[in-house]
A and B are shown apart, each in its own frame.
Chain A
Amino acid sequence: MKLAKRLLIATAISGLFATSSVAGNADLVKEGEKIFNEKKLGNCLACHGANGKDINNPGSFGPKLQYLEAWPEDALYAKIYDPYTTNPISAMPAFGKNGWLDDKQIKALVAYLKTIK
């Protein structure tokens, strides 16, 4: 009885975790998309189009983003945090290093970028 109860609670909790992490991920992607598009946040759209995404008037200052789903998360994180580590003459701003986007925001962006085919 005790055991059954425990099991029940455990499954309930893990169920809770599972659903919340799925919902959390969808929320994160949404949050990242907002940061990507909004002028006062990441404003990535100013320079980048993104494959498979319906966005208005992307710029051509940077490359059209594609195949990012295949990038490891930490590589995407590093690109946003400080693009000079992989490309010392990049014209892309260092959003993390310059303190414009915080850790949480960059993680949300990474979640969104992972949905770009």
Chain B
Amino acid sequence: MLLKIAKISALVALATCTLNAGGFDTQAEKDRTALVAYSEAKFKDADKNRMYFPYSTDDELKNNFPKNIKHDAFALGSYAFNSRGKSQYDDIKEMPPYEDAIDEGEELYSKKFANGKSFKDCFPKTDIAGEYPYFDDKKNSVVTITSAIDECLVSNGEKSWNMKKGKSAKLQAYFSFATMEAGKKVNLKIQSQAAADAYERGKKEYYSQRGYLKLSCANCHVQGTGQRVRAEYMSPLLGQTTHFPVFRLKWNSLGTLERRMAGCNKDQGENPHKAASGWMKDLLYFMAYMSNGMAIDGPDIRK
């Protein structure tokens, strides 16, 4: 009898849980599906869809952009459509400059803290890159992989690390690589009203004009995708988070998503936001959700 009650309540809990999941992510799923449709339509045939590329040259529309780019391919960022850039990218990928960083990340993962514990105690599994960022209802806040690493350090009496580069980026490279090896995908769930609210805040930030330039992220990474800022093609929002951390030639080192964001804040003419700020976490939650279901393929290289 008792067992039966337990079983029933477990079932009910399960049912409400799935029901809720179905409810709270409705808007996010709508947004994500629309973004996939927009991105595929825009790059179905750039030469014919000139309204999306009013100021691009004939040459790039005819000779550089491939046709029929599909959903998963956008994980490559601007290399999804910049064929000429892609061949340089492929060359560098043959001897990726981030390989040592993955090994160093692996060492950091098992290295003991002063208290005898290690990251293994905070992150029992390593193929976890697709599970971040997630919304923690108890903390009432988004947890990014960067902030989770920091919390693990602090709760074990260790000093915080730089959240943009160095050890944190290396440990993330190790997680990302393990996740890719395991063939796992971005796997985010929005399971509460508070999580849905965080998503909406992030979305609002992505579409808000900011800084003296009054540009939004979307100006450059939704409408602007495929257009160039100087010689640099702007990557699509779709698939923008699947491959971090990245080794940027400009940095000549590995950097986290938070590090890259600081650069884009500056591009907008805005002072960069702090890596662990609520602003950053909400925004990354929204961005990662747009890549939901896409394969994790980090670490990667970028110019």
Contacts and interface: CB of A to CB of B under 8 A. Distances in A.
Nearest to B213: A93
A63 B230 CA distance: 12
B55 A57 contact: no
A93 B212 contact: yes
A60 B212 contact: no
Given A60-B55, A60-B57, A94 B214 contact: yes
Interface in A90-114: 91, 93-94, 98-100
Interface of B is mostly: loop
Interface in A49-71: 56-64
B231 interface: yes
Interface in A12-65: 45-47, 56-64
Size class of the B contact interface (CB-based, 8 Å)? 20 to 34
Interface of A is mostly: loop
Contacts of A62: 55
A98 B214 contact: yes
B230 A59 contact: yes
A20 B167 CA distance: 59
B55 A61 contact: yes
Given A63-B54, A64-B55, A100-B269, A58 B215 contact: no
Interface of B: 53-57, 60, 212-215, 219-220, 223-224, 227-232, 269
Given A59-B232, A60-B55, A100-B213, 9 more contacts: A45-B230, A46-B229, A59-B229, A60-B56, A61-B227, A64-B55, A91-B215, A93-B214, A94-B214
